[in-house]
């Protein structure tokens, strides 16, 4: 019988995936064994670090029989920095596990017969797939990411997932920190100045508690490293804890950058949400719009609209569209983006979707945060005249939970597709088409 005791090694065969880049096995007594760093089919030597009557959590300390899907990680910082989960697996295996995770959630959590048809891979693979990064700074001026479940900064020389630009700016910023001896913010004491480095595309934001007198020197160093095509902002953040941004931004250098998504031009502040993988986001939005089957005379509601990407894309196809978003700053950006694109049939409301009276619509898009939809939002959608809902989700478990509640209100999830927005990590986006039962699809003739 397999003996599992804390700090005593054991050999096991991994039979499944845990959805987080690790494996699952089962002990003779029925206990579930989670094995970090293991792949299905592997025989591994594990070291348990937490054992209960029902669950054992272990680390794989030796791969005795590796899976054919195991690869040598392309990043020197994996798995220490905690940012990636699948660099020990082939990209094909990562995609297989993500699709399996979504469909398992539909079945086991949602009690649904729905099955995601496919997962759309990132054409460029993992490397350079992200357009955004938030780098943390430790008391010694080292720049990197927090180790998983901690605030310990792991030094990052080069991040595999980030763009060349994001990686190239780190060296001059590190040298600027050393040479100017700028103080580093301490979360515990609240003392110190420099807090974080943010980058999206060619935009850089230095987050600090106050504004130093050495910003021009940083500009000179960045220009020497990456040329003149960048934008530098300074963010004044006096809040306690680990909140990324404060309310005030100051432009130090360069014009405000502009992003384009499926032909819609966007200006986005560093604090506003924008999908981190532009090519994959475009695939996601195309699917969502196709699922909606919007007709020219129809009205549309876009919940959790952010800076208005879906709102402005769908405005081309409908009579009227309303975006709802709790962030006033994001709504201001959405209004400016509508004007930038000459769109006049879109309006925007600042409000919590769970508490704001929602205007009537024929079709509703919803793209909530990871926690999913409040039950009050689902009830409000059910009370509306909408017969089509398109649900975009970044968490399979909360998505499945919400689809189950939609079913209780008479909506059927009829189609689902996954998009690998975050290669190398455990996260996956899903798009689901829901139809009110007893309502036929709209005619396009």
Cβ neighbours of residue 333 under 8 Å, at least 6 residues apart? Answer: 267, 268, 269, 272, 307, 308
What 3-state DSSP class applies to 300? strand
Q: How many helices (H) and strands (E) does the chain have?
A: 9, 23
Residue 20 is encoded by which pair of tokens? 């987080």
Question: Cβ of 69: how many Cβ atoms within 10 Å?
Answer: 18
What DSSP line would sit under 395-440, residue for residue?
A: -HHHHHHHHHHHHHTTEEEEEEEEE--STTSS--EEEEEEEETT-P
Catalytic status, residue 84: no
Residue 403 is encoded by which pair of tokens? 């689809």
Cα 347–Cα 351–Cα 354 angle in degrees, nearest 5: 120
Query: How far is 168 from 155, CA to CA, in rounded Å?
Result: 15
Q: What is the CA radius of gyration of the chain?
A: 24
For the four alpha carbons of 238, 239, 242 and 245, in that order, the dihedral sign comes to negative
What DSSP line would sit under 179-218, residue for residue?
A: HHTPPBP-TTT---SEEEEEEETTEEEEEESS--S-HHHH
End-to-end CA distance of the chain: 67
| Nearest by Cα to 284 from 265, 301, 262 | 262
DSSP run (H or E) holding 313: helix 309-315
Selecting among 81, 318, 394, 418, the annotated active-site residue is 394
Q: Using a CB cutoff of 8 Å and minimum separation of 24, what contacts does 293-299 make?
A: 293/363, 293/388, 293/441, 293/442, 293/444, 294/318, 294/362, 294/363, 295/362, 295/442, 295/444, 298/361, 298/362, 298/363, 298/442, 299/359, 299/360, 299/361, 299/362, 299/363
Q: What are the catalytic residues? A: 394
């Amino acid at each position: 019988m397999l003996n599992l005791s804390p700090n005593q090694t054991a050999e096991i065969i991994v039979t499944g995936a845990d959805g987080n880049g690790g494996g699952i096995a089962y002990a003779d007594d029925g206990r579930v064994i989670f094995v970090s760093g293991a792949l299905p089919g592997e025989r591994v030597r594990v070291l348990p670090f937490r054992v209960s009557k029902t669950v054992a959590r272990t680390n794989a300390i030796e791969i005795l029989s590796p899976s054919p899907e195991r690869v040598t990680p392309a990043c020197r910082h994996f798995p220490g920095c905690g940012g990636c989960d699948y660099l020990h697996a082939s990209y094909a295996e990562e995609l297989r596990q993500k699709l399996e995770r979504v469909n398992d959630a539909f079945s086991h959590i949602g009690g649904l017969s729905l099955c995601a048809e496919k997962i759309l891979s990132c054409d460029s693979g993992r490397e350079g797939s992200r357009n955004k990064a938030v780098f943390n700074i430790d008391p010694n001026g080292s720049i990197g990411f927090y180790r998983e479940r901690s605030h310990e900064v792991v030094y990052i020389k080069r991040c595999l997932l980030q763009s060349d630009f994001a990686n190239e700016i780190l060296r001059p910023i590190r040298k600027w920190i050393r040479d100017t001896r700028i103080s580093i913010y301490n979360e515990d004491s609240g003392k110190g100045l420099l807090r974080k480095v943010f980058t999206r595309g060619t935009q850089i934001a230095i987050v600090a508690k106050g504004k130093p007198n050495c910003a021009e020197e940083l500009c000179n160093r960045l220009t020497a490293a990456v040329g003149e095509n960048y934008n530098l902002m300074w963010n004044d953040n006096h809040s306690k804890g680990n909140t990324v941004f404060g309310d005030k931004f100051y432009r130090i250098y360069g014009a405000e950058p502009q992003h384009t998504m499926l032909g819609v031009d966007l200006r986005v502040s560093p604090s506003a949400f924008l999908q981190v993988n532009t090519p994959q986001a475009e695939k996601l939005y195309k699917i969502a719009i196709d699922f909606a089957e919007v007709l020219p005379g129809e009205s549309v509601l876009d919940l959790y609209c952010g800076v208005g990407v879906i709102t402005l894309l769908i405005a081309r196809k409908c009579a009227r569209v309303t975006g709802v978003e709790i962030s006033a700053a994001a709504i201001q950006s959405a209004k400016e983006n509508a004007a930038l694109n000459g769109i006049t049939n879109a309006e925007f409301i600042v409000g919590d979707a769970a508490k704001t009276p929602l205007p009537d619509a024929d079709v509703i898009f919803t793209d909530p945060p990871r926690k999913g939809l409040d039950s009050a939002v689902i009830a409000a959608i059910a009370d509306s005249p909408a017969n089509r809902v398109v649900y975009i989700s970044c968490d399979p478990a909360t998505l499945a939970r919400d689809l189950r509640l939609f079913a209780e209100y008479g909506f059927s999830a009829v189609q689902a597709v996954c998009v690998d927005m975050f290669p190398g990590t455990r996260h996956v986006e899903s798009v689901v088409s829901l139809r009110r039962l007893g309502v036929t699809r709209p005619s396009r003739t």
